[in-house]
Amino acid sequence: MHITVVAAGSRGDVQPLVALGRGLQAAGFTARIVALEPFRELVVGEGLEFVPFPGDPQRFIEERGLRSLRSGRNVVGFLRRHRRVVEALYGPLLKSLWAALDGTDAVAFGTLTIMAYPLADARGVPRLAVPLQPITRSRAYPSLTVPQAWGRIGGAFNLATHRVNEFLYWLAVRDVVTAGLREVLGSDPFPRSGPYGRIYADDRFPFVYGISPTVFPRPVDWPSWHELTGFWFLDTDDPLPAAVEDFLAAGPPPVYVGFGSLPEKDPAAAAMALVDGVRRTGRRTILLRGWGGLDLDEAASDVLVVDEVPHGRLFPRVAAIVHHGGAGTTAAALRAGRPQVVVPHFADQPFWAEQVRRLGVAPPPIGPRRLDADRLAAALERALSPEVARRASEVGERIDAEDGVGRAVASITRFLDRGTVT
């Protein structure tokens, strides 16, 4: 059976879905990944089919991230930004995806592309969602677009935040999405009220989440066809670069600091503040340059600046991990069993920051506007305490024992065989 997995977004959105595709292929499927052109090598390197759609993930992240930093938690600003993201994404994606679905037997949509499911219906193929963030309506947690601390208000409020977010989000993107689908299909597939009522009521549209139940217990009010399987890790045999191995061998375990694909308004100042904060704890630093271009003006013996390195290889060998709270980095840090300090910026990052705080493997998160050397040093001192380190190790062992990809493949197979994931 041939299955197409739609993986729109940056590397953190794509890599787990490539891991899922590899698992499906190992189980006898032929897997095709639809993603941005820069991820061709990642996909093809795992032996999967690749179909590109146009776009620049770095520009997408830079524009979205910098505007998020400027507008803070302004909901109207968020919706305006996301409309621009959808405008840039859905037109090129829908045309590429329509062609990619020719000859496939099923399609799995990532978080950013779920509203493209009418294309699968028009092709007459089964469809499912494979999100990496919890988006199903629930009384157990608030929408990811509001501060997660608001979840303490209660179940009715939490459910209301989901419904309000769905309404506002659809209001912001309705014209763009509808126009894109109309151009491909020749008709409007959604009522003016939006797609969400149909999506959540349809037991032929299962949600197979790449999320660990250890980190986020499954809400009891989710539909039975929405399930958690565990994180999806793309393990690699690639060794660490020689410079990283030499740095690790030259002293005690360092602190890893990396914000992945996030932009930085002043990379040099940000890098200096981060390194200074780590130094105040008496630790060395491995600093990820990332898309933000973090770097020091001068070389330092206690700092190693790196480009992309495999998290699964590096994270178990560091003392603590300072990161932005992206789903992929959070999952890798949890699995490695290392304490964390999270500096969430936007999107789902505050949600993951709250989860690791709740688990006891990280202190309260630091907002990006409040990040300085003093606050980072204080947070690291708490993270490196024996109690937090012990808890991180315990959580890491539990997550490492989960077979998220295997469970997801089994669920998808049951759905395609019998029309149900349960």
| Rg of the chain, C-alpha, whole Å | 21
341 in a domain, yes or no? yes
Of the candidate ranges 26-40, 167-181, 283-297, the one whose mean pLDDT is the lowest: 283-297
The reply to whether 168 and 281 lie within a common domain is: no
Task: Tell me which residue range forms the domain holding 258.
Answer: 242-401
Among 65-69, 343-347, 411-415, name the one with the lowest average pLDDT. 65-69
Is the domain of 190 the same as that of 298? Answer: no
pLDDT in tens, 227-252: 999 999 999 888 999 999 999 999 99
SS (H, E, C) 226-256: EEECCCCCCCCCCCCCHHHHHHHHCCCCCEE
The lowest-confidence range among 159-163, 182-186, 346-350 is 346-350
Q: Can you spell out the DSSP letters for 76-95?
A: HHHHHHHHHHHHHHHHHHHH
In a domain, 204, yes or no: yes
pLDDT band at 292 (very low <50, low <70, confident <90, very high): low
Q: Which residue has the higher pLDDT, 392 or 89?
A: 392
Has residue 262 got a pLDDT over 70? no
Residue 65 has a pLDDT of: 47
- Rounded to 10°, the helix 11-26/327-336 angle is 70
215 vs 57: which has the higher pLDDT:
215
Give a yes or no: residue 409 inside a domain: yes
In a domain, 236, yes or no: no
246 and 220 within one domain: no
Of 73-82, 159-168, 334-343, which one has max mean pLDDT?
334-343
Is 322 among the domain residues? Answer: yes
pLDDT surpassing 60 at residue 60:
no
Question: What are the distances in angstroms from CA 20 to CA 7, 230, 231, 276, 363?
Answer: 11, 11, 10, 39, 31
Do 60 and 75 lie in one domain? The reply is yes
Mean pLDDT, residues 338-350: 92
> What percentage of the chain carries pLDDT values higher than 70?
89
Confidence (pLDDT) at 169: 83
What is the arithmetic mean of pLDDT over 20-32? 97
Tell me: the pLDDT tens digits for 396-409?
A: 999 999 999 999 99
Residue 133 domain-assigned (yes or no): yes
The two tokens of residue 237 are 């045999």
**Where does the pLDDT of residue 66 fall: very low under 50, low under 70, confident under 90, or very high at 90 and above?**
very low
Higher pLDDT, 113 or 59: 113
Asked whether residue 392 falls in the same domain as residue 309, the answer is yes
Average pLDDT on 158-165 reads 94
Same-domain check for residues 382 and 408: no
- The pLDDT assigned to 82 comes to 64
pLDDT over 80 (residue 394): yes
52 and 198 co-located in one domain: yes
Are residue 273 and residue 124 in the same domain, yes or no?
no
Q: How confident is the model at residue 259 (pLDDT cuts 50, 70, 90)?
A: confident
- In-domain check, residue 237: no
274 and 217 in a common domain: no
| Whole-prediction pTM | 0.92
pLDDT of residue 168: 86
pLDDT at 163 over 50: yes
- Are both 9 and 86 inside the same structural domain? yes
Length of the chain: 422
pLDDT at 68 over 60: no
**198 and 82: one domain?**
yes
Q: What CATH number corresponds to the domain at position 129?
A: 3.40.50.2000
Domain check: are 383 and 327 in the same one? Answer: yes
Angle at 411 between CA 406 and CA 412, to 5 degrees: 100
For residues 151-174, give the mean pLDDT.
92
User: In total, how many domains does the chain have?
Assistant: 2
pLDDT for the residue numbered 63? 52
Question: Looking at the predicted structure, is the pLDDT value of residue 73 above 60?
Answer: no
